Structure formats: C-alpha cells, structure tokens
Structure 1
Amino acid sequence: MLLDELVKTTDAVASTRSRLAKVEALAGLLRRLEPGEIATAVGLLIAKPRQGRVGVGWSGMRSAMGDPADEPTLTVADVDAALDRLLGTAGTGSAAERAATLRTLLSTATEREQAFIAGVLLGELRTGALEGVLTDAVARAGGRPVESVRRAAMLSGDLGGTALVAITGTEEELDAVGLVVGRPVQPMLAATASSVSAALETTGEASVEYKLDGARIQVHRSGEQVRIYTRTLAEVTHRLPEVVDLVRTLPVRDVILDGETLALGEDGAPRPFQETMSRFGADQARSTLLHPWFFDVLHLDGRDLLDEPLATRLGVLERIAPDHRIPGEITADPAVAENVSRQALAAGHEGVVVKAVGSLYAAGRRGSNWIKVKPVLTYDLVVLACEWGSGRRTGMLSNLHLGALDPAGEFGEPGNYVMVGKTFKGLTDELLRWQTERFQEIEVRRTANTVWVEPVTVVEIAIDGVQQSSRYPGGIALRFARVKRYRDDKTPAEADTIQTLRALLRS
C-alpha cells in the first residue's frame, strides 16, 4: 500500500468530530492492507513504529528535510525498511549514514508525507486517531468484539500485533492472547480525589497505600532472567542492576511485579523526584541507588492474577516480597485511612493511593478503583504555548499555556487539549533555560509575544482548585497554578482530562 493512503486517511480522521466516522475510515484502511503491512501501518498511525524510537530529533529532521516529491511513490514497506536501517546503523560514521538514510526517505516523500513521517518519528502525530479509536477500528475491520481486541492489546502491549491477529486470525487466536512473562503490559492508572474520605466513598473497603514520588516500573522475571519496563513500556533493565539483583533473590520462578523505584537518602527518606529520574535515565550506573517498592503482582509461577481481586494479589505479594511492599493498610474507616495519609506525608511521600480491595487489574485503564490523594492538588497537563518573559526573564520563554486532555471531544475534536490556564510560577532558572531552548525546537507558529508548540510536553501543575471562567473553552480556569516539574516519564495521552478538572467545581 502507498503511504499516501495512510496520510489521506489520517486527514479524513482529523477532519471529523464523529467517532463513528473515524472508526469507519480507519477500518476501511485496515481492510485494504496486506497482512504483512498491518502491524507496520498501525504503528505509523499511532506514531509508535514497531522499531520504537530510532533516535531522530527535531534538529536531525530539519536538516534532512528537502524539496518534496511531486507524486506519491513511497509504500508502507519502504518506510518500514528505512526505519529498520535507521535503527540498525551504529558505530563509526553512523551519524552521516543515518542522516543520508533520512534524507533519502524524505526526498521521495510528498509534502504531506514528509509532515506525516516527521510526526511519526518525533512521536507527535496529531490526527485524532487515538489508540482507543484505532482499537475500535481494528475490531470493526476484523469483525471481532471490541472488548476482546482491547484486552489483547492491553495484555500484549502491542496494538499492531493485535490488529494482525484480529483481522487475519481466528477468534480463538485472539482470545488466546494473554500475559507473557517478559512482555510488558499496559499499567493500570489511578484517578484523582481531593480527600481520602472522598476516595473511600467511591471505593468502599480499600487498600490505602503510600503514594511514592518515584518512577513506575514493571518487573518481569523468568528463571534468572529479569527485565524491567517503564510506564511507557520502554525496557530499562540495563539501567537498574540493583533492582535486577534484588528480584533474583525473591522465592519465585516466574513473576510480573508492578511498583515504583526511587532514590533514598541515608535516613531512608525519599530524595527529590529529579534525582530519581536522573538516575533512572542513565545508561551507565551511578553512585545513586534506586530502591524498588512493589504494590501489585500480575503473575506468579504459571498463574495469571489479573482477574483476581486486589485482596488476593496483595496476599500473594506479601508472601513473596514482604520486605519490598509499599506500606499501607486495608480499611473502610476514613479515620484509619487519614492516619495512613499522615504517616505517608510525614515520611516525605506525596500522599496515598486508595484501591478497592475487590478490584481487578484493569491494564491500561484509568477508572475509579484506584484513586490517588495528595494534600496539594496536582495535575499532569500539556504545554500548548509559551509567552516571552519580561524583566529579569527577558529573552526567556516563561508563561506557560496549559491544556487538559479532552478524550471524548466534549469541547472540540476528540483527543485534543483544552486550555485551562497559564502560569509562570515555580520555574527555576534552569527550567527557564531548558524550556526556552526546547519549545523553540518544537514550535509550530509564533507571534511577537508567544510561541505555540506541538502538544507533546507534560508538566505537573499544583493548583488550589478551579473556578468557573468564560475565558477558556472548557468553562474553567486554574486557581493559583504553579509548576512542580516536567514529566519526561509521561506521554500527552496520559495527561489529566478536562472532565477531571471540571469535577472539582462540584467538590
């Protein structure tokens, strides 16, 4: 299939607000693909090629961009082969070879195809074709139940591979897709509440656990082989040898564990999040050690635990890793839960997560069974633009325009971001320098005072609440917003939603 067909389909998807129309357009495209093209095409459509990140940044893309081709000739297979070459080129002289490969690819692409390829390689394709829409399209194209496709994609962590099975395989083959030790699973996510008592009203009896300010990890052990993945399913085993060594001491053969890792001080108190992420992102071992804490177990020695209640999973976790469990207590009493929260805060942690004891592990989902509670309301938002500063910040990009995710398209196109406020508070000189450089690299347009950027940067914002406002399309504005940190470990699709923020009006 020509790449042009993917581009035309993404244009059609982006041009309509109708979810049904999006699904139909994508399903029609999927049906026209050859079996060998399905996984590749799905990866391109969601800007997650099967090769993963191939090391192309904005500067490399700009330098490789030349005059576009007049007519479309590139095929899906051509792009896939070029990405294979980019991924496999390393060693002396590799930079020049990679640049040549990228220039050749882009020189054979039309202008619209160049923009599409850039969006794929930079992970910034904005078409409205979110994974949820494409998952529905896969089900439609294959004539399979949506829930079966969704579950297979969540458990495999691979929508492209799931699409191939759903469209070309049997229903039995699709239903057979399950947990595999060594293959990462999309992590379960938590909603947000303003108080522990409010969270307990939703969950009923719950495990109230410390909310650590660390990096999410999923650990797989098969025999003596251990693999560690991030919340975005990237493998980081080689960066965490201390975690590998610890997991090898557990009395298990095969296991999948969910948890957090963070740096601790000599007194056992958590170190700042930036220290954890600096160590977490290092390709070589550093002096700072990361300690793992586990809060869930998904598989143990041939037994899948996803569909077991949390109470059962916690019992298994207590048996195999009692010294490495995140502290917490099972209760339905708000006073007891509040006491756990006070203990967590006194120990230097963020707050608590309240988890319904009867809940199953809903991979990839953010529901009401897990609810995080922090004393200061914090939300992960997306930077939409940034204004130039004044005074001592002259020449620096300072005032952030903040957007919340609108997955349902209640305030525009599904999957877009709704502006909810601005802030320049909480920015250190280091962050000002960083964002001034970074945002100009990803800018899409500018005026004299403002640089608009691709909506790909997640920032954690602390607020005192929200208020009704006609200034922004979502009808709310943030109160006393300030920057806590940038979240390199989160994708824009994991940002908090406009619906979550609007719920604060009622609470």
Structure 2
Amino acid sequence: MLLDALVNTTDAVASTRSRLAKVEALAGLLAQLEPDEIAPAVGFLLGKPRQGRVGVGWRGLSAAMGAPAAESSLTIADLDALLDRLAEASGAGSAGDRSRELGEFTALATEREQDFITRALLGDMRTGALEGVLTDAVARAADRPGDVVRRAAMLSGDLGETARLALTGTAEELDAVGLVVGRPVLPMLAATAASTSAALETTGEASVEYKLDGARIQVHRAGDEIRVFTRSLADITHRVPEVVEVVRNLPVRDVILDGETLSLDEDGAPRPFQETMSRFGADAARETVLHPWFFDILHVDGRDLLDEPLSTRLAELERVAGAHRIPGEVTADPEVAERVSRDAIEAGQEGVVVKAIGSPYAAGRRGSSWIKVKPVHTFDLVVLASEWGYGRRKGWLSNLHLGALDPTGEFGEPGGYVMVGKTFKGLTDELLRWQTEYFPQIEVRSSAGTVWVAPTTVVEIAIDGVQRSSRYPGGIALRFARVKRYRDDKPASEADTIQTLRALLRE
C-alpha cells in the first residue's frame, strides 16, 4: 500500500472528534493492508514504530529533509525498511549514514509524506488514534470481538502483532493468545483518590499496600532463565543482576512477578528516586544496589493467575516471595487504611495503593480496582516546551510548559495535551544540564526564547492544587507546581488527564 493512503487516513482521523468516525476510518485502512504491512502501519499510526528509537531527532530530520517530490511513490514497506536501516546503523560514521539514508528517502516523499515521516519518528502523531481507538478499529476490521482483541494485545504487549493475527489468523488463534513466561504483558494501572478512606469507599475490602518511590518492574522466570522488564516493556535484565539473583533463589520454577525496585540507604530507607533511576538506567552494575519488592503474581508453575481474585494471588505471592513482598494489610476499616498510609509516609514512601481484594489483574488497564493515594498531590504531566533561562540559568533550558493528556478531545485535539501551567521550581543543575542537552533533540519548532518539543517526555510534578483560569484551554492552572523527577519509565500515553486535574476543583 502507498504511504499516501496512510497519510490520508491520519488526516481523516485528526479532523474528527467522533470516536466512531475514527474507528471506521482506521478499520477501513487496516482491512486493505497486506499481512506484512499491518504491524508497521499500526506502529506508524501510534507514533511508535516497531523499531523503537532509531537515533534521529528533529535537527537530524530537518538537516536531511530536502525538496519534496511532486507525486506519491513510497509504500508503507519502504518506510518500514528505512527504519530498519536507521536502527541498524552504528559505530563511526553512523550519523552520516543516517543523514544520507534520510535525505535519499525523503527526496522521494511528498510534502505531506515528509510531515508524516517526521511526526511518526518523533512520536508526535496527534491524531487522537490512541491505542484504545486503534484496538477497536482492529476488532472492527477483523470482525472479532473487541474484548478478545484487547486481551490479546494486553497479554502480548504488542498491538501491531495482535492486529496482524486478528486480520490474518483464525478466531481460535486469537483466542489462544495468553500469558507466555518470558514475554512481558502490559502492567495494570491505578486510578487516584484524595484519601485512603475515599479509595476504600470505592473498593470495599482491600489490600492497602505501600506505594514505593521506586521503578516498576515485571520479572519472568522460566527455569533457569530470568528476564526483567520495565513498565514500558523494555528488557533491562543485564542492568539488574541483584534482582535476577533474588528471583533465582525463590522456591519456584516458572513465575511472573509484578513489583518495584528501589535503592536503600544504610538505614534501610529509600534513596531519592533519581538515584534509583540512575542505577536502573546503567548498562553496567554500579555501587548502588537495587532491592526488588513484589506486589502481584501473574503466573506460577504452569498456572495462570490473571483472572483469579487478588486474595488468591496474594496468598501465592506470600508463598513464593514472602520475604520480598511489599508491606500492606487487608482491611475494610478506614482507620486501619489511614494507619497503613501514615506508616508508609513515615517509612519514606510515597503513600499507598488500595486494591479491591476480589479484583482480577486487568493488564494494561486503569480502573477503580486499584487506587493510589499520595498525601501530596503529584501528577505525571508531559513537557510541551521549555524556555531559555536568564541570570544564573542563562544558557540553560529552564522553565517548563506542562500539559495534561486529553484523551477525549474535550479541550483540544483528541489524544493531545492541554497546557496547564509552567514551572522552573525543583530543577537541579543536573536536570537543567540534562534537559538543555536533550530537548533540542526532540525539538519541533523554536523561537528566540522557547523550544517546543515533541510531547514524549513525562515529568512528575508536585502541586498544592489547581485553580480556575481562563489563561489555559482546560480552564485550570496548577498552584505552586514544582518538579519532583523525570519519569523515564513512563510513556506520555499514561500521563494524567485534564479531567483528573479538573476533579481537584471539586475537592
């Protein structure tokens, strides 16, 4: 299929706020794709090419982009093959090789195709074609039940391959997609509440567990082989030998565990999140040691536990990894829940997660079964731009423009980000240096004082609340916002929503 057809579909999807219209347009495209075009096309539509990052930023794209072609000739397969070549380029001279490849390829692209290629590589599609919409489109195009497609995508962690199977395989093959030890699944997510009592009203009897100030991990063991994945499903096994060793010593042969890892100081208290992430991101072991803590178990020795109630999973978790279980208590009493929350804070942790004791593990979904509670309001927002500093910060990118996800398009583009404030507070010299080096790599445009970037960088922001404001399209502004940390472990599609922030007005 010509790349132009994909561009036309993204334009049609971006031009409507109707979810149904988006699904129909995407389904029409998917139904016409050849089998080997399906997974690449899904990646392009989401701004998440199957090759991942290929070492090309905005500046590299701009420098390589020449005059556009007059007519369309490129195919989806051509673009996929280009990204393979870009991803494989390495070593001395690789930057020049990438620039040459891009220049030769984009010379064959029309102006609209050049824009599409740029947005696909920078993760800035802004069509409102979030994974939920595209998953529904796959179900429509393949004439398969939506819940079956969603489950297959969640358990495989790969919507592109799920789409290929749904569109080219049998119903039985799609139904058969399940947990595979060694293949990561999308993690279950938590909603938020203002207090443990409010959370308990929603869940009923629940396991109230410490919310650690660490990094999410998913650990798979199949016999002697152990693999560790991040929340974004990246394999980091070689970076966390101490986690591997803990799991190797558990009394089990096959297991999938969900949890967090963090570094501790000499007194056993958690070190700052930045230290954990610095160690977490190292390609070689460092002096800082990471400790794993587990809060769920998805599979054990041939038995899948996803659909079992949390009470059953916790019993198995205690048997398998009791010494490495995250602290918590099962209760329906608000006073007990509040006490656990206070204990977590006194131990240096973020707060608690309140989990309905009868709930299954809903991979990849955020619902009311898990509810996180933090005493200080913190939200994961997306950096939209950064302003050049002045005075002591002259020469550094400083003040951040912050956006909240708008999944429905209530205040702008569906799937886009609504600006809710700015802040430079909490930025250390180390963070200033990092963002000054990094943001120009994902720049989409700039002025004398501001660099606008692709909305792919998640930052955790602490606030005292929100207030009504006509300055921003969402009708609110952050109060006393300050940076806590960058969330390298979290994709922008999981940022907090404008609706969540607006709910603070009612509180």
- Shift in Å at residue 326 of structure 1? 0.6
Over 3 Å counting, the alpha-carbon distance change for 1:39 and 1:446 in structure 2 is: closer
8 Å contact 1:215–1:277 — kept in the other structure?
yes
Q: Which residue of 2 aligns with 1:141?
A: 141
Q: Over residues 112-140 of structure 1, what are the superposed CA-to-partner deviations in whole Å (9 max), with x where a residue is unaligned?
A: 22222222223333222111111111111
Equivalent residues in 2 for 1:11-410, closer than 5 Å: 11-91=11-91, 93-410=93-410
Letter in 1 for 2:276: T
Q: Over residues 190-241 of structure 1, what are the superposed CA-to-partner deviations in whole Å (9 max), with x where a residue is unaligned?
A: 1111111111111111111111111111111111111111111111111111
- Shift in Å at residue 299 of structure 1? 0.8
Letter in 2 for 1:408: T
Q: Secondary structure at the match of 1:307?
A: coil
Letter in 2 for 1:387: E
Which structure ranks higher in relative contact order (CA pairs < 8 Å, sequence separation ≥ 6)? 2
- Shift in Å at residue 470 of structure 1? 2.7
- Shift in Å at residue 449 of structure 1? 4.4
2-structure distance, mates of 1:325, 1:298: 14
8 Å contact 1:17–1:412 — kept in the other structure?
no
- Which one is further off, 23-32 or 89-98? 89-98
Letter in 2 for 1:121: L
Q: Secondary structure at the match of 1:321?
A: helix
Letter in 1 for 2:29: L
Letter in 2 for 1:214: G
2-structure distance, mates of 1:92, 1:385: 32
Q: Over residues 78-116 of structure 1, what are the superposed CA-to-partner deviations in whole Å (9 max), with x where a residue is unaligned?
A: 122222223334455544444433333323222222222
2-structure distance, mates of 1:449, 1:64: 25
Query: TM-score scaled to structure 2, two decimals?
Result: 0.95
- Shift in Å at residue 446 of structure 1? 3.9
2-structure distance, mates of 1:132, 1:217: 23
Over 3 Å counting, the alpha-carbon distance change for 1:407 and 1:65 in structure 2 is: same
Q: Over residues 385-418 of structure 1, what are the superposed CA-to-partner deviations in whole Å (9 max), with x where a residue is unaligned?
A: 3334444334443332221111122222211112
2-structure distance, mates of 1:94, 1:459: 31
Q: Which residue of 1 aligns with 2:414?
A: 414
2-structure distance, mates of 1:330, 1:63: 58
Q: Secondary structure at the match of 2:31?
A: helix
Q: Over residues 63-82 of structure 1, what are the superposed CA-to-partner deviations in whole Å (9 max), with x where a residue is unaligned?
A: 33233323221111112222
- Which one is further off, 87-96 or 260-269? 87-96
Letter in 1 for 2:100: A
Letter in 2 for 1:376: V
8 Å contact 2:122–2:442 — kept in the other structure?
no
Aligned residues: 507
- Shift in Å at residue 35 of structure 1? 1.6
Whether 1:485 and 2:507 are equivalent positions in the alignment is no
8 Å contact 2:305–2:313 — kept in the other structure?
yes
Extract unaligned runs of 5+ from structure 1: none
Extract unaligned runs of 5+ from structure 2: none
Letter in 1 for 2:277: M
| Structure 1 vs Structure 2 CA RMSD | 1.8
2-structure distance, mates of 1:388, 1:53: 26
Letter in 2 for 1:506: R
Letter in 1 for 2:423: T
2-structure distance, mates of 1:348, 1:171: 49
- Shift in Å at residue 12 of structure 1? 1.3
- Shift in Å at residue 184 of structure 1? 0.8
8 Å contact 1:255–1:297 — kept in the other structure?
yes
